[in-house]
Amino acid sequence: MQNMQELKELLNPRYRVLTHILFWVSYTIFSLISANTANDSYSRSFALVTSTLPVKMFAVYFSLYVLIPKFLDTKKYLTLVSLFLVSFMVFGYLNRWALHLYYVPTFRPNYNYLEYPLSHIGKAIQNAFPVATVVFGAIVIKLIKRNYQQEKVAQELAKEKLDAELKFLKGQIHPHFLFNTLNNLYAITLQDSPRASEVVMKLSNLLDYMLYEANVSQVPLRKELLQMHNLVELEKLRYGDRLAVTFTSSGNIQNKSLPPLLILPFVENAFKHGISHNIEESFISIDVSIKDMGLILRVENTKTEDVKKDQEYTRGIGLRNVRRRLELIYGPKNYDLQVFDEDDVFMIVLKAPLFETNTDPNSEAKIKPESLKISISS
């Protein structure tokens, strides 16, 4: 929103008045210096510049606020050129008339009006050139300013569209996780198991993370990994002995962050498509490696005949949304997502940059990286 605030400042009427004043003061000073160099007289230069300044101001504002909006913005170029030529002839006569009101009687009292009358077309054309110079200069400044403002607006709209799309994609992820986790809870409560309270607690932690902590552009990497741990624990409670899960992490996770809910869907997808169809013993292997400011995530799971026939396996909502989010956040060339679809095994390998975060050392110390190096198996 800072860019939009800057744009509003640029469009502020007070700011526009100040820029116009600055333009004319600068032009007057430059013209005085140029005229004084030619005339070697301050009073004569001042009279020459100020006597024609009103005509030039009128020409500038007529061009900026009448000709440009009515003909340039509507792409009537031939009409615009024709009117420019006609108007410059008119301004040439007005400029010459202004000179003869004050400057000529004072500094050139012996001017020969018989040889060069006020209606002289050659002198009018000659007087049109100084007017055309300042008009074209003002138009160039106007067009540069307008282009800058349009770029600002376009950038802001693109950013808002990007943010809206990211929120929409994250919004699709939330019910996706919730639906599957509630199924887990339902299956356990049917068995009247004391583990139901544990599931409720872990589900509460996941919901708190997804609904509140994930509403930012970046979250600490440790939080995402801990929620991944919670998800693994929930799925382990559901599938019991027929599921073997290995979850390992290596590298320094402190002071590192990433977009929220970026890696959780890969794990959820492995459980949904790699295990839920399998009545035999299955395995899921999750490995997270941190190297400098880069993340390498490897998720591998078994694949049965039922899964092989599932067309949504590699094109489900989770993977599709995450791939789109990766493109929006990092750009198409700043991350690498590889999908390996073998006969019996499905694996994804994600390589993505991490962001540096300055966090409170005390709060970071509450969860040590070593606690994330877990191994769960039957």
CATH, residue 283: 3.30.565.10
pLDDT level of residue 287 (50, 70, 90 thresholds)? very high
Q: Per-residue confidence at 295, pLDDT binned at 50, 70, 90? A: very high
Structural domain of 318: 193-376
What is the tally of structural domains in the chain? 2
205 and 249 co-located in one domain: yes
Residue 149 within any structural domain of the chain:
yes
In a domain, 19, yes or no: yes
Residue 115: inside a domain: yes
CA dihedral 360, 214, 377, 288 (to 10 degrees): -70
**Mean pLDDT value across the chain:** 76
> Do 16 and 144 lie in a common domain?
yes
Is 367 inside any structural domain? Answer: yes
Question: H helices within 74-120, ranges in order?
Answer: 77-101, 103-107
Same domain, 42 and 135: yes
Residues 228 and 334 occupy one common structural domain:
yes
pLDDT of res. 377:
35
Listed residues 157, 179, 202: the one ending a domain: 157
The pLDDT value recorded for residue 196 is: 74
Q: Is residue 152 part of a domain?
A: yes
**148 and 202 share a domain?**
no
Cα–Cα distances in angstroms (integers) from residue 112 to residues 66, 87, 88, in the given order: 37, 27, 25
Identify whether residues 286 and 358 lie together within a single domain: yes
State whether 137 and 279 are in the same domain: no
- What residue has token string 């490995």? 287
- pLDDT band for 288, please (50, 70, 90 cuts): very high
- pLDDT digit string (tens) for 49-97? 888 888 899 999 999 999 988 888 888 889 989 998 899 889 888 888 8
In tens, the pLDDT along 175-217 reads 655 676 677 677 777 776 677 777 788 778 877 887 777 778 8
In this structure, the answer to whether residues 25 and 81 fall within a common structural domain is yes
Q: How large is the average pLDDT for residues 90-111?
A: 82
Q: Is residue 185 part of a domain?
A: no
* 143/212 same-domain check: no
> From CA 96, how far away is CA 62, in angstroms rounded?
18
In a domain, 130, yes or no: yes
Q: Is residue 175 part of a domain?
A: no
User: Percentage of residues in the chain with pLDDT exceeding 90?
Assistant: 10
Distance CA 181, CA 206 (A): 9
| Segment 147-160, tens digit of pLDDT | 887 787 777 766 66
